[in-house]
Structure 1
């Protein structure tokens, strides 16, 4: 089970550019930003890609050149030994280590390193892979980019066919780097929640921090966001990632929204009580009134006052005899009408 509140995943992905020293620095920045987890990507390029697979348009644009996708991905690969070191370093820094596996061998390797499996959007229709992860009996965070409800339903059925007690979090996602605002469709996160009755979150690929913050306000329990040490570094994902300062700002804003969402119970706060006594209007005397007079509406004004009956008692005191004199602007109290 994930922590209570919003679980923030700082997605380092492959923004280490295949250099473990950069990966260490990414862990440092994720911890400094206040994220709950830092996440990488674990794969063996030859097990994931055909040698004929072409680069996506966003990869060509962000990389500034075109090479074969397998060559690009191979250059971003870390060894299993590297990941073990990153796990140990994350433990030292007291931040949760995660990594998305892209092949079944990587699933097996990560079993001893990660507390949860993160399924990337591209694997949501890879049913043998989903069954393999389900067999590990660990909570699953699954991104649903490029998917419709039917795809999600079949993925869930596949997982449940192996393990019907596994805990699953569904992340709405638009797989475009960067994602324009008109393709975010954040309300689809609520559709996932309504359709599958599972906790939901949002994996964000927009350029700013507004959308993940809005997702939290809508009820996201998990937020995943790419970050980098420098947006100008070579690589496919740097330009669509946050820099460390932006990541820190996003985490701070999300934590503030968590606090602001509160309990949902509508009642005055303690701090409002003093203010209420100043701004709430009371029943006060419209003029000096002697004892023994029968009060009419003309004898009553409704003004801000520290003392006095609230306006809901207006009809009750109209027609009553006042037994104690009252000065103009003095608040009416029950003592003005009751014998001692």
Structure 2
């Protein structure tokens, strides 16, 4: 999915298609043009995801009819099997990976069974949904786990379920003890290393800068030793760029064709030109990170004699007179490190002011 030097960038279309196949296809075009590695949607059956009495989040009420139920809101945002076929084919034609987050068992089976998706992105809202996590582990080759709203121990518990699902025989009974044993086992840890990435995330739209806490990404990387990235809900593009500089191997960011479109997520999303700017900046940051070895670069070698200094005669000096030295450019003469060795010693020849001292 990634190399050591390349961040896997997921352009999160989510439900910003507003239920329109045409709009969804345009989102794919926009993500491909911006240079994203993948474009991600959301796959769900509204009646399997939301209970009738479930209320909307505050940000959803601000962006949509506050009197409308969450169920009615997302029912309009479903994409069916036929729409998925069109989207996957279009992604193939545009040379960009198709991804989707499933929110129920039927949707998971559609993605991994019917369409053969190997990577499943798990929503932050399902990190405590152990039965669903187990289904995902048993059907997906790679899992990207978002960790918004979670404590470190909750992330570890979710990883235990995944480790169990990856390694336990199908007839093994799930239990808290079995999850913990799988997580602690060498086989479970090896499976997690090969198959799981975790994303730090702040589940608010938009996320306030004070609540981003990018250092939590470092904490998870140290705690679990897994590929770690960042799913961003802040305004603008600077926070995900900073996350890449801190070592994120995956970046996920919501985008839309127009922030003024109706719907719950448009306002906290990037528009196409901003998505392009973010990806270009990420690629530049990757280049700037380098290999970590401190040494002069190719261009610096030519600048060293220009910028560095050498020992020069501070005043005109005749042979056998005591040297009075100064340090001045250029740097292609005797090193200033020899100042204490040569200062006040007899000159071996005549020098004029500022002339380089012989080594």
Q: Shared fold by TM > 0.5?
A: yes
Identify the residue that residue 8 of structure 1 maps to in structure 2.
Answer: 9
State the alpha-carbon separation in 2 of the partners of residues 84 and 49 from structure 1.
25
Query: Secondary structure of 2:150's match?
Result: coil
Identify the residue that residue 338 of structure 1 maps to in structure 2.
Answer: none
Deviations 1:193-245 (A, max 9, x none): 12211121111111111111111111111110000011111110001111111
Structure 2 unaligned blocks of 5 or more = 167-187
State the alpha-carbon separation in 1 of the partners of residues 219 and 310 from structure 2.
47
Aligned-pair RMSD on alpha carbons?
1.5
State the alpha-carbon separation in 1 of the partners of residues 49 and 107 from structure 2.
11
State the alpha-carbon separation in 1 of the partners of residues 350 and 56 from structure 2.
89
Residues 1:205 and 2:211 are matched in the alignment: no
Structure 1 residues 3 and 264, CA, compared in 2 at 3 Å: closer, same or farther? Answer: closer
The 5-angstrom pairing of residues 186-225 of structure 1 reads 186-225=214-253
Deviation at 1:89, TM superposition (A): 0.6
Q: Which of residues 326, 330, 341 is equivalent to 1:316?
A: 341
Identify the residue that residue 181 of structure 1 maps to in structure 2.
Answer: 209
Deviation at 1:137, TM superposition (A): 4.6
Deviation at 1:136, TM superposition (A): 2.2
State the alpha-carbon separation in 2 of the partners of residues 33 and 113 from structure 1.
26
Structure 1 residues 320 and 40, CA, compared in 2 at 3 Å: closer, same or farther? Answer: same
Identify the residue that residue 100 of structure 1 maps to in structure 2.
Answer: 101
Question: Structure 2 length as normaliser, TM-score?
Answer: 0.88
Structure 1 residues 248 and 23, CA, compared in 2 at 3 Å: closer, same or farther? Answer: same
Query: Secondary structure of 1:231's match?
Result: coil
Deviation at 1:42, TM superposition (A): 0.6
State the alpha-carbon separation in 2 of the partners of residues 243 and 217 from structure 1.
23
Identify the residue that residue 75 of structure 2 maps to in structure 1.
Answer: 74
After TM superposition, the runs of 4+ consecutive aligned structure 1 residues lying more than 2 A away are 1-4, 112-115, 287-291, 315-327
Identify the residue that residue 51 of structure 1 maps to in structure 2.
Answer: 52
Q: Is the 8 A contact 2:36 2:279 kept in 1?
A: yes
Residues 1:258 and 2:296 are matched in the alignment: no
Shifted more, 305-314 versus 122-131: the winner is 305-314
Q: Which of residues 176, 190, 196 is equivalent to 1:168?
A: 196
Identify the residue that residue 142 of structure 2 maps to in structure 1.
Answer: 139
Question: Structure 1 length as normaliser, TM-score?
Answer: 0.93
Shifted more, 61-70 versus 142-151: the winner is 61-70
Deviations 1:157-178 (A, max 9, x none): 0100121314211111111111
Deviation at 1:31, TM superposition (A): 0.9
Structure 1 unaligned blocks of 5 or more = 335-340
Q: Is the 8 A contact 1:84 1:113 kept in 2?
A: no
Deviation at 1:3, TM superposition (A): 4.2
Query: Secondary structure of 2:139's match?
Result: coil
Shifted more, 156-165 versus 321-330: the winner is 321-330
Q: Is the 8 A contact 2:118 2:140 kept in 1?
A: no
